[in-house]
Chain A
Amino acid sequence: METVVRAAAIYLILFVAVRLSGRRTLSELTTFDLILVLIISEAVQQGMVGDDYSITTAALVVVTLVLIDIVLSFVKGHSPFMQKVLEGVPTILVDNGKCLTERMKKARVSEDDIMESARQLRGLERLDQIKYAVLEVGGHITIIPAEQPRRGD
C-alpha cells in the first residue's frame, strides 16, 4: 500500500511541478533542462521506493505509474475539458506578421525564439513572412508561413 501511495504521490508532484512551471520548461532539452531531468530522476527515486530495493516494490512502482498514465489518457480522451487541464491548449503568438506581445510575455517567448523556429522549420527570414506562429502544448513553436503572392497578381 505504501509503495503505491509513494509512487502516486511522486507522480502527482512531478506532474503539477512540470505542468505549472510553464510550457517552455523542458520543451527542448538544453543543457540546463538535461541537468534538471537527470537530477529530478535521482531525487524522486528514493522517495518512491524508500529503503526497499526488492523486485516486488520496483514492479509495484512501475505498474502504479503506468496505470496512472493509462487512466489519465482515458480521462483525456473522454473529456475535452480534462484534456485542456492536463495538456494545455495551443496559443497563437504571431498573427499575420504581427507579434501578440502580451501573450508572448506571459508565455515567456521572445521574438528571437519565434524567428529561430521560423528559420529552422521554414527557412523564413522576416516576421512579415509568418502568417501564424503557434506555441503548441508541448512547448515547441510551429510556423505557418504567409501565402506568397502569385506572379502576375
Chain B
Amino acid sequence: MNDTFSIHEDIDFQRKTWIAQRVTWAIMALIVLAAIAGMFGGTMSRVERRESSGRLSVTYERVQRHLAPTQVRVSILAEGIQSPSVQISDSIGKVVEQLAVMPAPRLSTLHAAGPIFTFDAIPSVGGRLDIFVELVPISYGSLAGEIALVEADGRPYASVPISVFVLP
C-alpha cells in the first residue's frame, strides 16, 4: 500500500479471482459445446424410436425447454388401415399444450388413457403416413409416456415409449 494515499489492493484475492475467471471461461466453453451437441435441446437431441414390427415410429427431441415449441413426428405404416388412430398417453398430454396436429385429424376423442386422433389414410410413398404434432411443454423435469396406434375402441396394438427431459 502506498504511503501517500491508499490503494486498497489485495493481490492474493485478485489472483484467486483471475483463477475463478479462467475456470468460468472453461465452463462457458463447455456449455456452448454441450449446446451444440444437443444437451440443451434442439435438432441435435432428436431421436427416433421404432415399434418392433415397424408399424410405428416416433421422432422427437429428447431434451426440451419449458414453453419452447417442439415437433413430434409420428410415422405410421398405414397400408391396410382404413382410419389409423393415434393416442398420446395422458402422462404427456396433461403437461403439454398441443398447438397443432398436421394433417388435421378427422376425429379427436378424449379417452381415459389419453387423447386419440383419428386420421383418414392418405396414400404416400411406401404406404407411410407422417403426422406432425406441435407441442409446448408446460412442466419441468422428466416426462415419460407413450404414443400408440389404437383400435376403434381405444385398445393399443402398437406403441412406442418416449422419454423427455424439460429444462427450465
Residue of B nearest to A137 (CB): B8
Q: Which of A17, A51, A89 contacts B8 (CB 8 A)?
A: A89
Within 8 Å CB of B108, what residues of A? none
Q: Shortest CB–CB separation between residue B48 and chain A, in angstroms?
A: 30
> Which residues of chain A are near B21, meaning CB under 8 Å?
20-22
Contact assessment for A84 and B10 in the assembled complex, using a CB-CB cutoff below 8 Å: yes
Residue in A20, A89, A107, A134 whose CB lies within 8 Å of B24: A20
B-chain residues with CB within 8 Å of residue A20 when the two chains form the complex:
20-21, 24-25
The smallest beta-carbon distance between A38 and chain B, in angstroms, is 20
Q: Which residues of B19-65 have CB atoms within 8 Å of chain A's CB atoms?
A: 20-21, 24-25, 28
Bound: A51/B21 CA distance, A: 34
Q: CB of B3 within 8 A of chain A?
A: no
A103 to B18, CA, bound (A): 10
Please indicate the chain A residues that have their CB under 8 angstroms from the CB of B9 in the complex.
Answer: 89-92, 134
Closest B residue to A5 by beta carbon equals B168
Which residues from chain B contact A90 at a C-beta distance below 8 Å? 7-9
Within the complex, what minimum Cβ distance (angstroms) separates A8 from chain B?
A: 13
- Are A89 and B14 touching (Cβ within 8 A)? yes
Residues of B within 8 A of A134 (CB): 7, 9
Cα-based distance from A106 to B16 in the complex (angstroms): 11
Please measure, in the bound complex, the distance between the C-alpha atom of A76 and the C-alpha atom of B48, giving whole angstroms: 52
A88 interface hit (Cβ, 8 Å)? yes
User: Which residues from chain A contact B15 at a C-beta distance below 8 Å?
Assistant: 106
- Which residues of B have CB within 8 Å of A107? 18
Contact of A50 among B10, B20, B25, B67 (CB under 8 A): B67
With both beta carbons as reference points, the residue of chain A lying nearest to B66 in the complex is identified as A50
Cα-based distance from A91 to B29 in the complex (angstroms): 27
In the complex, residue of chain B having the shortest beta-carbon distance to the beta carbon of A95: B2
Is B157 an interface position by the 8 A CB rule?
no
Q: A20-B24, A51-B67, A106-B18 are in contact. Are A84 and B13 (CB under 8 A)?
A: yes
A121 interfacial contact with B, CB 8 Å: no
A-B contact sample (5 more), CB < 8 A, given A9-B168, A17-B24: A20-B24, A88-B14, A90-B8, A90-B9, A103-B14
Q: Which residues from chain B sit less than 8 Å from chain A, CB to CB?
A: 2, 7-11, 13-15, 17-18, 20-21, 24-25, 28, 67, 168
Interface residues of A (CB under 8 A from B): 9, 16-17, 20-22, 50-51, 84, 88-92, 103, 106-107, 132, 134
14 A-B residue contacts at CB 8 Å?
Answer: A16-B24, A17-B28, A20-B20, A84-B13, A88-B17, A89-B10, A89-B17, A90-B7, A92-B9, A103-B14, A107-B18, A132-B2, A132-B7, A134-B7
